[in-house]
A = this chain, B = another copy of it.
Amino acid sequence: MKHAGLPIEDLPTPAVLIELDVLGKNISRQAERARAAGVRLRPHAKTHKCPEISRMQLAAGASGLSLAKTSEAEAFAGAGFEDIFLAYPVVGLGKAERLLALADRLRLSVGADSVEGARGLAAPFAAAGRILDVLLKIDCGYHRVGVLPENALEIARRIAEIPGIRLRGIFTHAGHVYHAETPEEVAGIGRHEGETLAAAAGVLRQAGLSIEEVSVGSTPSARHAMRMPGVTECRPGNYVFHDGSQVALGTCGPEDCAMTILATVVSVPAKDRAVVDAGSKTLSQDILRPRPGGHGRILGTASRLVSLSEEHGVASVEPGDSFRVGDRVRILPNHACVVSNLHDRLYGVRGNRVEMELEVAARGRIE
């Protein structure tokens, strides 16, 4: 059943709503920010996984897309996109062969943080007399993947020597910003991210390596990191939708959140408890950062979802709020990116109408 053109109240619940006016504002504001800083914007499409939204981002001035997985790049290649950076240390011969096929169709570059990983990627490219563009991942404090800045030169040199590889640049992701507790801490992490990466680029260039791209990431940190001299590109993703975590971090206000979950109250078993039909299959179990604060705010009320099972969202009903079986509510999710991955479609809405269905074409692309 198609829902475009219908009033929102005709949607079956749970449903993921995207306020198109807010989405448009978020996209143009981020593009303007990158222009003002003089850096390229290469948004991470993991937040929406929708070709339709990537097209809006490119139309507003983005230079290409970031993605994580090989199969996501295949989905976006199928939708006609021509410039993709896989910001992920892709590993494995099967993957390398798929990257070679992708590189026939579009401008592709891939992350790496180890000589072994890069060698594996290079093999089919070298055998075919082709070159794969690689960016070395630097760890600027998140301590997930990436080489430490002090080791970057040695690893970069060894990767640059691998036949079939061109070391095109370096990149980082300050994921630890999501644990920051104040806007000042967010800004400090962002500046450190940009400075660390620019300094690493300087060291590599001094040693004779050609580093074209110096790329920073994350919605909270990017606006600070992109202003550091030497940074050439930013890769925020979440900004298209924002979410409860961004509001808690001070990255945006509640009015900047484009994604809400439309849900139905299915049970009110006690005065202080109401249960909606959106559980972890819709919202995920991702908790609110930086402060634990439940699983989603019920908009227009003081109540929150305090626990989730797969099909149930349990709200603790605050004094002054009341819910009845059959009521429809909207929930502000903690983490928009994981919500997109749980759904085949999002509903683009304006006012009380569903304007478009957005296919989450790269949903569940885990490989």
Known: A145-B275, A145-B312, A286-B285. A266 touches B116 (CB 8 A): no
A162 CB to nearest chain B CB (Å): 14
Whether a CB of chain B sits under 8 angstroms from the CB of A351 is no
Most buried by B among A147, A270, A284: A284
| Nearest CB in chain B: distance from A277 CB, A | 7
**How far apart are A179's CB and chain B's nearest CB, in angstroms?**
11
Cβ–Cβ contact A91 & B326, under 8 A:
yes
Binds B, one of A21-29, A185-193, A199-207, A337-345: A337-345
Closest B residue to A95 using CB positions: B12
Q: Is the CB of B91 within 8 A of A264?
A: yes
Give chain A interface residues in 77-136, CB to chain B under 8 Å. Answer: 88-92, 94-95, 113-114, 116-117, 120
In the complex, per-residue mask of A264-295: 1 if CB is within 8 Å of any chain B CB, else 0 = 11111110010101101110111100000000
Are B337 and A366 interface neighbours, CB within 8 A? no
Contact (Cβ within 8 A) B284 A114: no
Contact with B along A244-265 (1 / 0, CB 8 A): 0000000000000000000011
B13, B117, B325: the one contacting A367 at CB < 8 Å is B13
**A324 lies within 8 A of chain B by Cβ:** yes
Interface flag for A141 (CB, 8 Å):
no
A325 touches B280 (CB 8 A): no
A146 contacts the other chain (Cβ, under 8 Å)?
yes
Say yes or no: is A68 at the interface (Cβ < 8 Å to chain B). Answer: yes
Compute how far the CA of A10 lies from the CA of B175 in the bound complex, rounded to whole angstroms. Answer: 32
Query: Is the beta-carbon distance between A311 and B113 smaller than 8 angstroms?
Result: no
Q: A6 to chain B: closest CB distance in Å? A: 11
Minimum distance in angstroms from A15 CB to a CB of chain B = 8
Q: Is A69 an interface residue (CB 8 A)?
A: yes
A151 to B341, CA, bound (A): 40
Q: Is A309 an interface residue (CB 8 A)?
A: yes
Q: Is the C-beta of A158 less than 8 angstroms from some C-beta in chain B? A: no
A146 to B139, CA, bound (A): 50
A325: contacting residue among B94, B116, B282, B344, CB under 8 A: B116
A114 and B341 contact, Cβ closer than 8 Å, known pairs A91-B265, A143-B273: no
Quick check: B269 and A325 within 8 Å, CB to CB? no
**Chain B residues, Cβ within 8 Å of A264:** 91-92
Interface residues of A in 130-169 (CB under 8 A from B): 139, 143-148
**A7 near B: Cβ within 8 Å?**
no
| Assembled-state Cα–Cα distance A338/B312 (Å) | 13
A181 at the interface (CB under 8 A from B): no
**B-contact bits for A1-32, CB 8 A (1 contact / 0 none):** 00000000010111100000000000000000
Which residues of A are at the interface with B, using a C-beta cutoff of 8 A?
10, 12-15, 46, 68-69, 71, 88-92, 94-95, 113-114, 116-117, 120, 139, 143-148, 175, 264-270, 273, 275, 277-278, 280-282, 284-287, 309-312, 314, 324-326, 337-338, 341-344, 363-364, 366-367
A sample of 10 more A-B contacts (CB under 8 A), given A145-B275, A280-B286, is: A12-B92, A68-B310, A89-B275, A91-B326, A144-B275, A145-B266, A284-B285, A285-B285, A310-B338, A343-B364
| 8 cross-chain CB contacts under 8 A | A12-B94, A89-B267, A143-B269, A144-B275, A144-B312, A146-B269, A147-B269, A310-B338
